[in-house]
A = this chain, B = another copy of it.
Amino acid sequence: MDAGCTTSYPALLDYKTEKYVLTKNRKVGALHRILHLGSFCYIIGWVLIANKGYQESDKDPHSSIITKLKGVSVTNFSKSKEKIWDVADYVIPSQGENVLFLVTNFVATTGQVQSTCPENPVMLDARCIENLDCVAGDPVINGNGIKTGKCVLYNSTHTTCEIYGWCPVETESLPRKPSLNEAENFTLFVKNAVYFSKFNLSRANTLDTSDDTYFKNCKYNPVSSPYCPVFQIQDIIAKADQSFEELSLRGGVVTAHIEWKCDLDQPANECLPRYSFRLLDTKNNFRTATYYWNKQKLEHRDLLKLYGIRFHVSVTGEARKFGIIPTAVSLGTGCAFLGAATFLCDLILLYLDEKASFYRRCKYEEVGG
């Protein structure tokens, strides 16, 4: 019968606690305490307080965005005729969704009809010296039409393939200064409603008012008017560290990011959106055309190459609330460290300490078999 073996079997409700060997090793002892302290600080400070590990969260709210641009601008349209641009003219698409394009500059090619004309020499594929360079029926790569097989004069300096297509072709001469530069004074209204299904929480970024003129006259200010999401274009561009003058010339893409952080363990009125604006891309343009028929029932179109700023409104949100499960998990993972600490100290004591061999023998108690 070995030393320290119980004579009877342990009963179900006897509490068994590990037997410890008490060493007077101050160094490892101190290390052990420090590691334990560290683990506790990590659990309390980081997991629970910094990361709010005791809360469960809903990170994808249903979100609805309604945008509205306001303002008017005067331009000298083709044939140097003055033209007023209002919302219906310069916002594309007009539905006011989360992506909207504000026209700031354009190249107009009016009165195009389907016929034959020389291709633009910008298309390398269309440059030619003689007719043989232009294979009839071939489309011009990235070009405006189908080659007719003739090589004709484009202007005093260039000869290019004649094409069948919408003629005359667009001549890429971008105005030096943006045509709609009043646009910087336009205002953008961004109405956003979010719904966190997990907590059945609905929030909106607009003041719930019956006064219809409120949003016509207010302007966003995080302190004085946090519930008036009306931004002036030039402010937005400025916040994105850009100059409207440059950006409006060749266009760009600006993201307006709305971030909701709602801690339901806090008073609800602290759950306010934060707005941030970033330039995502420079140069942004596309072509669109309006079609009409003249008296001879011949189809014409006005081709517009529109340069402008695309606003991309994105919404992210996170709602947090105390939950027992996440708390348990956070503590659980934290506990693992306490074990790790002991594990580490044992290694040191049993294999690195100068008296390691002695401790190693004393840590273990031999039993037969």
Contact = CB atoms under 8 A, between A and B. Distances in A.
A119 B287 CA distance: 33
B6 A3 contact: no
Given A4-B365, A124-B216, A286-B96, A145 B33 contact: no
Contacts of A14: 22-26, 29
Stoichiometry, as copies per complex, reads: 3
A367 B22 contact: yes
A191 B16 CA distance: 63
Nearest to A87: B287
A278 B190 CA distance: 20
Contact of A166 (B4, B15, B86): B86
A76 interface: no
A364 B15 contact: no
A280 B335 contact: no
Interface in A137-171: 139-146, 164-166
A281 interface: yes
A129 interface: no
Contact of A146 (B84, B95, B257, B293): B84
Interface stretch (A220-228, A241-249, A264-272, A339-347): A339-347
Contacts of A368: 24
A195 B280 contact: yes
A362 B5 contact: yes
Contacts of A146: 72, 74, 84
B16 A72 contact: no
Interface in A282-304: 284, 286-293, 301, 303
A369 B363 contact: no
Contacts of A13: 26, 29-30, 33
Given A13-B29, A72-B144, A367 B335 contact: no
B70 A280 contact: no
Nearest to A303: B88
Q: Which 9 A-B pairs have the closest CB atoms?
A: A64-B280, A15-B29, A19-B19, A88-B289, A22-B364, A332-B336, A13-B29, A5-B362, A16-B20
